[in-house]
Structure 1
Amino acid sequence: MSGHSKWHNIQKTKGAADAKRSAAFTKIAKEIIVAVKQGGSGDPNNNSRLATVIAKAKAANMPNDNIKRTIDKALGSGNTDNYESVTYEGYGPGGVAVIVEALTDNRQRTAPEVRHYFDKYGKGMGAQGCVSWSFDRKGVIIIDNEDGDYDEDAVMMDALDAGADDFNAEDNVFEITTDPDAFNDVVKALEEKNYAFVSADISLVPQTYVKLESDEDIKNMEKLLDMLDDNEDVQNTYHNWDQD
C-alpha cells in the first residue's frame, strides 16, 4: 500500500534520543505525569492518554520500573508537578513548517526561548494555526526490519487487521499509520504478536515536504532542531523538511 514516508524525518531525532536517553526518559516521564493527572487514573486501560504515552515509553526502551515509578509519583498526594501544554508554530529556513509541543510550568520562560530559536535559525515564530493546517494528526508506528526478522506481507496484514489505516515499507523499515482513536488498539494487537517498535506515538504528519537546497539553510535547520530537542520544556517537534 502507498503512503507517506516519515522515517527519513525521524532518523536524526531517534539518533539524538539514543545519545541522550536520560533526557528522553525525563521528557516521557513528564508526559506520563500529565496523562495520569488529566486522565484521573494510573491504569492505562481506563486512561487512553496514558496508554498512548506508555506505548511511546516502551518504544523508547524506557524500563517498566521507571514507568511504574513515574505513575506512582503522579498518583502520590504530595506530587506538586503542574505542567501546562503549549504549542508554538513557525517557519524554519526555506519556509519549512515547524510545530513545537511543550509541557511547561512557566510560559514566561519557555515562549521566549522557543521564539529565540526561531528568530536565530529560522524565519520566525508565527501565530497559532499558521502551519498546523498543513499537518494531519495520526498514530505512527515504526518497525525496524534491518535484520529481516519480519515478513513484509505478514506485518502489513497484521497491521491492517488490527485497524491500521496504511502501511508503508521503505529501506527495511515498516511504517504503520492509524487514526488517533485506533492507535492504542493497533499497538496492543501488534505487541501481542511480539512486534518490537522503534517508535510509537501520535504524531503530526506533514501533507507535503520542503527540500532545502543551500548548505546554510540545512545547517540552520539542523541547529534549530537540535536547540529545540535540547530544551527541557519541548516534548515534540514536527516539521516538513525533506531530508532525503
Structure 2
Amino acid sequence: MDVVFLGTNNYGREIYEWLCDRDGVDLRAMLTERAQLDLVATIEPDVVVAAGFTHIVPPEVLSVPDRGCLNVHPGVLPETRGYNPNVWSIVDDLPAGATVHYMDEGVDTGDVVATREVETSFADTGKDVYRRVERACVDLFCEVWPAVESGTVEARSQADEAGTYHRKQDFLDLCELDPDEEVRVVDLLDRLRALTFPPFDNARIEVDGRAYYVDVEIRPADAGETDDPDGGEDDSYGTVSSY
C-alpha cells in the first residue's frame, strides 16, 4: 500500500516510524508544509495519513487517494473539534482522548473510525492531559491500521452529531486574563490548569501596568493517595469505541 504521510509533532513522528517498519506499507513521502501538498497528486498514493499536520487539506488533495485520507485527532470527536482539544476538554468539561477519522472538506467533521478516551482528574494540567492523549493517538492508530490495510474499516458519520469547535484565536483569547472578571473559583482553576503547559507561557494577566504569566499546581489533599490516573508510572487510558 502506497502512503503519503502528513505530520510534524511527536505522536505524528511515532506513527510515521511505525508505518515505516510495517510490512506491505510503502511510505512515499512525509509532508510537513501546505506548499508540499501538490505532491499528493503526483504520487497518487492509496491512502493519505495525517497526524500532527496543522494545515487544512484542500478538496482536490482529499480526492486523490482511492482509500481516502485518515487523520489522527488529539481529541474525542465530535466533542472537541479544532485547535488544542486537550485544553478545551478541561475548560468545557468534555472527554479527552484520540480519534481516527476520515478527512472531509470540514475541520474534524469526517466519518469516525474509532475513538479512545483517556482518564483525567481535577489535578491535571493541560500538559498532563496532552501527554496521555499523545499515547492514545499512537496506540489507537496502530490498532485500526490493519483494518485500513484489509479494506474492512467501518466508520460512522458525524453529520447529525453536535460538537464544539475552537479556533486558534479562541485559545489566544483564553490566555488573556481579565483582572476584574467575576468568575467561579472552580471555573478559574479549570482555565488556569488547562493553560498550564510548561515551558510555555500561556495564561497572562496585567496588574498595575505590569504583565505576569500564571501557572497552577493542584494536588490531592491526602498525600497517601494519588489522583493521577497514571499512578506516576506509564500513561493510561480508558474506553475504546470502534465503528
- The TM-score normalised by the length of structure 2 is 0.24
Bigger radius of gyration: 2
| Higher RCO by CA contacts (8 Å cutoff, separation 6 or greater) | 1
Structure with the largest fraction of helix: 1
